[in-house]
Amino acid sequence: MSYSDLREWLARVEELGELRKIDGAHWRLEMGAVTELLYRRGPQPPPAILFDRVPGYPPGYRTLFGMTCSVKRMALTLGLPMVEGGLELVQSYRRKILDFHPIPPKVVRGGPAWEHVDEGDRIDLLKFPVPLHHEKDGGRYIGTGCLVVTRDPDEGWINLGTYRGMVHDKTTVGLYISPGKHGRIHRQKYFERGKPCPVVVSVGQDPALFLASGNEVPYGLSELDYAGGFKGSPIEVTEGRHTGLPIPATAEIAYEGEMLPGEGKDEGPFGEWTGYYASGERAEPFVRVRAVYHRDDPILTCARPSRPPSDYSFSKGIVKSALIWDQVEKMGIPNVKGVWCHEAGGGRLFNIISIKQAYPGHARQAALAAAQCAAGAYLGRYVIVVDDDIDPTSTFDVIWAIATRSDPERSIDIIRRAWSGPLDPAIRPGQKGLNSRAIIDACRPWEWRDEFPPVAEASPQLLEETLRKWQGILGL
């Protein structure tokens, strides 16, 4: 079930029965609140939501929320088998990247993204129904389900990162990029030379690109090549008139321009993935837009961070779990049985790794690796390592393991001065940047694992025999 662009993807999602179309919701808070209602109180899994007939906007100028927040929609997007549960999806993602070949993009001329090109006086970013997502937001965010494209000025490689973009006015957009993110490293290289940083931002596109851009693909590997590798064919791109940077040929909406060194405007606050408005309002660089490209009846793709669950937190947890699993294994650590980055921690703050212990120190090694590998390092908090009889996706079982197999004095280690940033709600304003991590070793202690008390539950054999005899009466 492959697809060529966002519109074909939407048709497939509709066939899966997972598309909800809603007419008449206002860009000011209403689309955001409707999404929150559906994601908290609506059907499971929650649908993708296509908003149309937004008051004040022409019909057809749409927004799309919740693109990838179901097992089926993720499988469709990533070309994975239609599996049942979350851990199976993590497994199949991981299997795919075990033997992975990135495919570079293909440059084409023109494409649907070029149906309308606005330059000069015609540039108006608010011609699209850009949402005010949350009540305390400092502005309307055009960039949430987006890709920010930059080129390394030394090495030439192209990075895509999902970094939020707030509309200041018709022609300028503030970008918030956390320290250490690849787009920020690129930008810094231009600014250190006193040069403008050229940028393309796509704000409506194939969700496969969003999944690559919004997750920790290794430094130096272009997310375009990564997404191409996933799809098994090159991503078609066109070159922006002003920057020469790649614009996905089928992008719904994209803009290009440059960020200038020394220039900043107040950006934020914004409802963030941790569930707080933690980074406040600060001067951040902004894009001076030189051109806007869009299709007829364009679709602005949105991902609305908030107190979890949000409309993208499920997919975040899945991809992070698979990436951490892959990276821990590639460090040579054996017997990893599962990784689960809990949605309540936004896929970062509360991560569980399950292993079959094979040697003394194995549990600590796996936990430390999961805490500090490239996919796990930024803004983490807790990593819990459990034995392989614990399902890492079961919060109940994980808490049971912590409660019964760990002894705090022996089982908890603290990593100090780790990579955090302005979005960390637990660090006081003015002091943000670094945080600490706790490793909780909730495995049976290696030295006396064989003497550890047996689990008090019926054996599988006893359960099976009993079930056979009593099934009818018990109604099981």
Ligand X SMILES: Cc1cc2nc3c(=O)[nH]c(=O)nc-3n(C[C@H](O)[C@H](O)[C@H](O)COP(=O)(O)O)c2cc1C
d(CA 215, CA 130): 23
Q: Which does 357 bind (CB under 5 to 8 A by kind): Mn ion, ligand X, none?
A: none
Cis peptide leading into residue 269 (ω within 30°):
yes
User: Least distance (Å) from ligand X to the CB of residue 472?
Assistant: 49
Do β-strands 434-441 and 412-419 pair in parallel, antiparallel, or remain unpaired? antiparallel
Q: Which of 20, 164, 182, 432 binds Mn ion (CB under 5 A)?
A: 182
User: Least distance (Å) from Mn ion to the CB of residue 449?
Assistant: 40
User: Least distance (Å) from ligand X to the CB of residue 273?
Assistant: 7
d(CA 419, CA 185): 15
Structure letter (DSSP) for residue 435: E
Q: CB-wise, 160 or 443, nearer to Mn ion?
A: 160
- Residue at token pair 């807790």: 382
184 binds Mn ion (CB under 5 A): no
Do β-strands 236-239 and 106-107 pair in parallel, antiparallel, or remain unpaired? parallel
User: Least distance (Å) from Mn ion to the CB of residue 194?
Assistant: 25
Q: What is the Cα Rg of the chain in Å?
A: 23
d(CA 419, CA 416): 9
Q: CB-wise, 143 or 257, nearer to ligand X?
A: 143
Q: Which does 345 bind (CB under 5 to 8 A by kind): ligand X, Mn ion, none?
A: none
User: Least distance (Å) from ligand X to the CB of residue 407?
Assistant: 35
Half-sphere exposure of 374 (CA within 13 A, CB side): 16
Look at the alpha carbons of 376, 381, 386, 388 in this order and tell me if their dihedral is positive or negative: negative
Q: Which does 183 bind (CB under 5 to 8 A by kind): ligand X, Mn ion, none?
A: ligand X
Q: Which does 269 bind (CB under 5 to 8 A by kind): Mn ion, ligand X, none?
A: none
Distances (CA, A) of 420 to 220, 262, 305, 310, 471: 21, 24, 18, 21, 53
Q: Which does 246 bind (CB under 5 to 8 A by kind): ligand X, Mn ion, none?
A: none
The residue number whose beta carbon is nearest to ligand X equals: 214
Site for Mn ion in 197-256 (CB under 5 A): 217
Q: CB-wise, 146 or 384, nearer to Mn ion?
A: 146
Q: Which does 49 bind (CB under 5 to 8 A by kind): ligand X, Mn ion, none?
A: none
Cis peptide leading into residue 207 (ω within 30°):
no
Which residues of this protein are in contact with ligand X, per CB under 6 A?
144, 159, 161-164, 176-178, 181-183, 214-216, 303, 305, 312, 316
Contact map string, positions 141 to 160, toward Mn ion, x by CB under 5 A: ------------------x-
User: Least distance (Å) from ligand X to the CB of residue 57?
Assistant: 23
User: Least distance (Å) from ligand X to the CB of residue 128?
Assistant: 18
Q: Angle CA(381)–CA(387)–CA(391) in degrees, nearest 5?
A: 80
Residues engaged in binding Mn ion (CB under 5 A): 159, 182, 217
